[in-house]
Chains A and B, each alone.
Chain A
Amino acid sequence: MAYLARRIALGVLTLWLVTLAAFVLLRIAPGDAVTAAIARSPGEGGLAAADIEELREELGLNRSWPVQYADWLGDAVRLDPGRSLASSRSVVDEIRPRLAVTAELALFALVITVLVGLVGGLAAARFAHSLPDTLIRSAALVALSMPSFWLALVLIVATASWTGHFLALGYEPFSSSPGANLSAVLPAAVVLSIRPAAILLRVVRASTLEAAGTQYFLMARARGLSRQVALAKHAFRTAMLPTVTVVGAQAVFMLGGAVVIEQVFGLPGLGRLLVESVLARDFPVVESLVLLSGVTAVLINLLIDFAYTRLDPRLRVAA
């Protein structure tokens, strides 16, 4: 438990550094929210210097950085990150409906990743260095080199011209129309899972083969277990450790991958909100989204550490 306590402390520290990074990143840049807002609405008559100063004061941008940071952090902790500059709605209201979309997309993609990665990786290890293995590994390498958003475009154009059916035709909440919801989210989830699945597959294969080279595996074989059973009973558990690491890393990756895939499939998720906000330099929204993904990533990493202690008994006692 000492191990876990240390990981949690480290997670909190990282989280704090993430807030600091999110804050500093958007303030070292030339220009601030006010100049960005002016740039966004050209031709609406110039603002007088006094007006600009007044606006800065209203938004609190004229105070020193440490004061601004303390204030901002306080707001973030109270889940009150302010208003969007673009829509002047509260950031929480902007984010909430979109969170569900991204969460659904990422969840489906993660399930597909784990299924394909585990089954494919174990199959490749079972048939190591023979034809099925070569085929699976080549497919994984090709999948790693494919730009996923391009595959998505090809998929959309191909289905549109062959079947006359448009894959990217907007989004319906699951509660209002389960069928329309799934037909909008599932293709996107499949495309999003291609790269993570390929990475996971390679890791599962490599770590299973590594475990199959150990003495205890040889011992299991010597006791008369078939290669298949020995792999399943003895190599699999050892192979789970690196597997869990990769699944976690890929879950974090999906937060980023969703940005692009949502754009292609027209899903109104957090990723599209981020792109829109970046292009509009809508700082409160960008900051909140960076913070949100940082928090999610840190939590995922904590979950992985927890899984470690379940999988590897040595970590439960070692400091």
Chain B
Amino acid sequence: MSISSLKTPSARLTRTHVSRPGLIGAALAALIVLIAVLVPEIGPDPDRQQLSKILESPGSSQLLGTDQLGRDQFSRVAIGARNSLYAVVVVIVVSGIGGGIVGLFSGYRGGATDLLLQRVVDAVMAMPLVVLALAVVAAAGASFWSVTLAISVAFAPLTIRVARSSAVSLRNAEYIAAARINGASTTRILFRHLVPNAAGPWAIVAASQAGAAVLIEAALAFLGVTPGRITLGGLLGGDAQTYMYGASWLIIWPGITLALLALSVNLLGEWIADNVSSRPSS
């Protein structure tokens, strides 16, 4: 058995205990995912206008009422939740996983690559997130995907920073040196040794970003920079601003869904953080 295939002293998520906040978060998330997946498939078409049924309050025929064009609000909230979930997944993949790997590489490599990358990170981190995201949107054009990408780009520096500091402290660990002497490539060291051992703090940051990403995506959509797509934030902005005084359900349900989604993601994040920090340090 080669040295590099030995189990590394683990900081990975091994033993987990199920806490009450964790359970509540998981149950909420499951419910929202279920609604987001099922309702647009089996419910009324979210874009179908029924001008005979405009601005109907929530009742038996329309569970959450209808909007100013007679469109079913429940279907629209569900499809909005689906789009919010897409955004979270993209942010976790790009900022969480992508940023983490870039940070580990930067910290492990060191030298000029690291220096240059960290100064770029400094500059990006110096800017307010929403301003940065709006600047990306101004450059790339207003759309759902450019907004989602903008949020990922704005979030990535923090993940890079955290993963990098883990890599810097692990760089000189004996098992890394052993792997290197054994002839392991940088890629192998990165994925086989650094990724699992740096996973703890990295997971905490990524999880806390996911909750914030839900809200920031919604805020930007509310400002009207995601045209052509139904989003929870978009449902709160635009025409709802005109009709909300008489038809409060137009803003109540998208908002509650949004808050519950963010709460469930935050609760899951706290649960991850508890499990990471309660383990004996490596």
Residues of A within 8 A of B218 (CB): 147, 149-150
Asked if A100 is at the interface (CB within 8 A of a chain B CB), the reply is no
A144-B266, A157-B245, A293-B127 are known contacts. Are A13 and B134 too (CB-CB below 8 A)? no
State which residues 239-254 of B face A: CB under 8 Å.
Answer: 244-245, 248, 251-252, 254
Residues of A within 8 A of B130 (CB): 256-257, 259-260
CB-based contact B131/A145 at 8 Å: no
Residues of B within 8 A of A286 (CB): 134-135, 138
Alpha-carbon distance between A148 and B140 when the two chains are bound, in angstroms: 26
**Neighbour of B244 across the interface among A157, A279, A298, CB < 8 A:** A157
Nearest residue (CB) in A for B258 is A147
Residues of B within 8 A of A113 (CB): none
CB-based contact A256/B131 at 8 Å: yes
Nearest residue (CB) in B for A254 is B128
State which residues 70-122 of B face A: CB under 8 Å.
Answer: 119-120, 122
Nearest residue (CB) in B for A11 is B126
CB-based contact B222/A142 at 8 Å: no
Alpha-carbon distance between A76 and B120 when the two chains are bound, in angstroms: 21
Asked if A67 is at the interface (CB within 8 A of a chain B CB), the reply is no
Using A149-B219, A274-B131 as known contacts, list a sample of 18 further A-B pairs with CB atoms less than 8 Å apart, ordered by residue number in A. Answer: A17-B119, A18-B127, A21-B127, A141-B266, A144-B262, A145-B259, A145-B263, A145-B266, A148-B215, A153-B236, A154-B255, A252-B126, A255-B131, A256-B128, A263-B222, A278-B134, A278-B137, A298-B126
Interface residue ranges, B against A (CB under 8 Å): 119-120, 122-124, 126-132, 134-142, 211, 215, 218-219, 222-225, 233, 236, 244-245, 248, 251-252, 254-255, 258-260, 262-263, 266-267, 270
Interface residue ranges, A against B (CB under 8 Å): 10, 13-15, 17-18, 20-22, 25-29, 141-142, 144-150, 153-154, 157, 160-161, 252-257, 259-260, 263, 274-275, 277-279, 281, 283, 286, 289-290, 293-294, 297-298, 301
